[in-house]
A and B are shown apart, each in its own frame.
Chain A
Amino acid sequence: DGGITQSPKYLFRKEGQNVTLSCEQNLNHDAMYWYRQDPGQGLRLIYYSQIVNDFQKGDIAEGYSVSREKKESFPLTVTSAQKNPTAFYLCASSRGPEAFFGQGTRLTVV
């Protein structure tokens, strides 16, 4: 089946640790995105990538890093510099202006 796969679904992180969230797509989409959702809020853009080996910061990039070494993959690292990382993280991809989303990863700092 074609789609966007995020893993893991749930992730617990200790204070001061870096964690990496996985996002893989087999839709042959060029562009990929990471969004963050806080309770009761809409989604906010963290990073996006239009092509392999290139990416740009979104509205809330501080404390996050990404890589885009393959078209299919766009992992997000939540670093220890991110002051409030507990949130729901959604990955998306698009070939034109219409975006499609994965099932999300819920990250909790313990």
Chain B
Amino acid sequence: GIQVEQSPPDLILQEGANSTLRCNFSDSVNNLQWFHQNPWGQLINLFYIPSGTKQNGRLSATTVATERYSLLYISSSQTTDSGVYFCAGNYGGSQGNLIFGKGTKLSVKP
């Protein structure tokens, strides 16, 4: 079936550390996106990354579509990076109907 799996489920970091979050997705999932859900619940778009690599400040993401995975890198983490990180992709011919993973809960300690 259609699956989006994220790892690790929980991650605790000291401020300044680097981390890698992983998203594995099944055959029919494409148009991958990464989101950060802040403590107030809002989903912030981080990357739209169906393939290749993108960077935005301390964050970067890589999707290898042929191998069905995507990675989100956070460098020099800050306490404001805390929250839940979701990857999601749409399936088949749909536009924007996203299948979400269960998320990685990141806690950055000062």
Chain A residues close to B by CB (< 8 Å)? 31, 33, 35, 37, 40-45, 48, 50, 58, 88, 90, 92, 94, 96-104, 106
Contact = CB atoms under 8 A, between A and B. Distances in A.
B44 to A, nearest CB: 8
B42 interface: yes
Contacts of B25: none
Nearest to B37: A37
Interface residues of B, number: 23
B102 A41 contact: yes
Nearest to B9: A40
Interface stretch (B51-59, B65-73, B89-97): B89-97
Contact of A31 (B40, B95, B103): B95
Contacts, number: 65
B45 A98 contact: yes
Given A41-B102, A42-B86, A48 B96 contact: yes
Given A98-B48, A104-B42, A106-B41, A42 B100 contact: yes
